[in-house]
Amino acid sequence: MDSDEDAVAGSAPSTTAKRRRGTEDGRTNNETARGSASTTPQDSLATAVVDAAYFNSYDELSVHALMLGDTSRVGAYAAAFRLGHAALHGRTVLDVGAGSGVLSLLAARLGGAARVYAVEAAPGMASLARRLAAANGLDGVVHVVQGRVEEVELPEQVDVIISEWMGFYLLHESMLEAVLAARNRWLRPGGIMLPSSARIWAVLAEAEGLRMELESYQCVHGLDLSAVAEAELDRRCREPAVELLESQRLLAQPLVAWECSDFRNLRCGATAELTVELSFVALRTGRAAALALWFDVGFTVPAENQPSGKQVVELSTGPGAPATHWKQTVVHLGCFVPVEAGDVLPVRLLLRQSEDNPRQYEITVESC
């Protein structure tokens, strides 16, 4: 970590796999194992352990209750299914990571799908999905398949793939890879993927609350507790915060850090490591202290009544949009850099999948 106040710099890992519950367990870049590129039995065992913990975490009902309570999330899928009824009606659908099966049920009820294969690895959730399908009279349409989508067998290819795979800052948990694997195995040529597109957004932001908290340790009843401030700042930089970011904390216009316009064309592994250089222009006086990340996704469905022949439903998780359970991810930089309106603030952002836990990402921010 570079705490030089002449530079905007910082480095931080991602949070752990339980994005829905907000559990955080950071790891610094220096703590990441850097073994050879070849796969060993130990590597396979470690991956299996990570995946087992990941799927076990999604077998907890509280995780799914949080997602079901996210009205923006569920509403975006419902809107896409309604608008895309003509494209979904009578078609076959694959739901990757179906969880409680609600999106599968909505695809059947609102989209008119003839068959929906709801693939879910967590046994408890797969059982609940079957019960919900029966309770809604859709057990003849929604077929729950327990297992990992990379391993299960379906009786046919599908016309549409749906999935709610997005993690914090879009990529956390690396579930996109499972969706792309399902696409390669099961999606018919010319099929539809929902969501269809995505963007990661970034912006420099203030952290005045943190700055004042740290300053308060300078003198406590005559005692110098600045070492506490240093330790707390180090902890904040090692553990990205998942929080609702007030719009007034933004110092510049948000910029697109990464974009995929069509998931049907994205190659597997394309998001394992992303490096982007961004040039922010400060819009006001302030102190740059963090880089905030969030995402939006688009659901593109055919629409004969539109001049473009399509219609897009957008789900945004950014500041100013209705709050979602994803909130925003705030990476603290380890410094509070004074800026004036018009200052150009170049930043290099690196998102790299962790080698010893592919469900996590290491996030590095530095000046360039």
The catalytic site residues sit at 164, 173
Report strand pairing: 10-13 vs 361-367. antiparallel
Tokens matching residue 205: 């932001």
Residue 254 near residue 202, CB atoms below 8 Å: yes
Strand-pair category, 158-163 with 92-96: parallel
Query: Cα 344 vs. chain centroid, distance in angstroms?
Result: 28
C-alpha to C-alpha distance for 25 and 240, rounded to whole angstroms: 9
Looking at this protein, which amino acid is placed at residue 121?
Answer: A
CA-nearest of 218, 209, 368, 214 to 280 is 368
Could you tell me which of 63, 54, 28, 4 has the C-alpha nearest to residue 240? 28
The Cα 116–Cα 104 span in angstroms is 6
By the 8 A CB rule, do 69 and 312 touch?
Answer: no
Considering only the C-alpha atoms of the chain, give the largest distance between any 2 of them, rounded to a whole number of Å.
74
B/e letters for 165-196, b = 16+ CB within 10 Å, e = fewer, are bbbbbbbbbbbbbbbbbbbeebbeeebbbbbb
Can you tell me the distance from the alpha carbon of 343 to that of 281, in angstroms, rounded to the nearest whole number?
6
d(CA 51, CA 280): 38
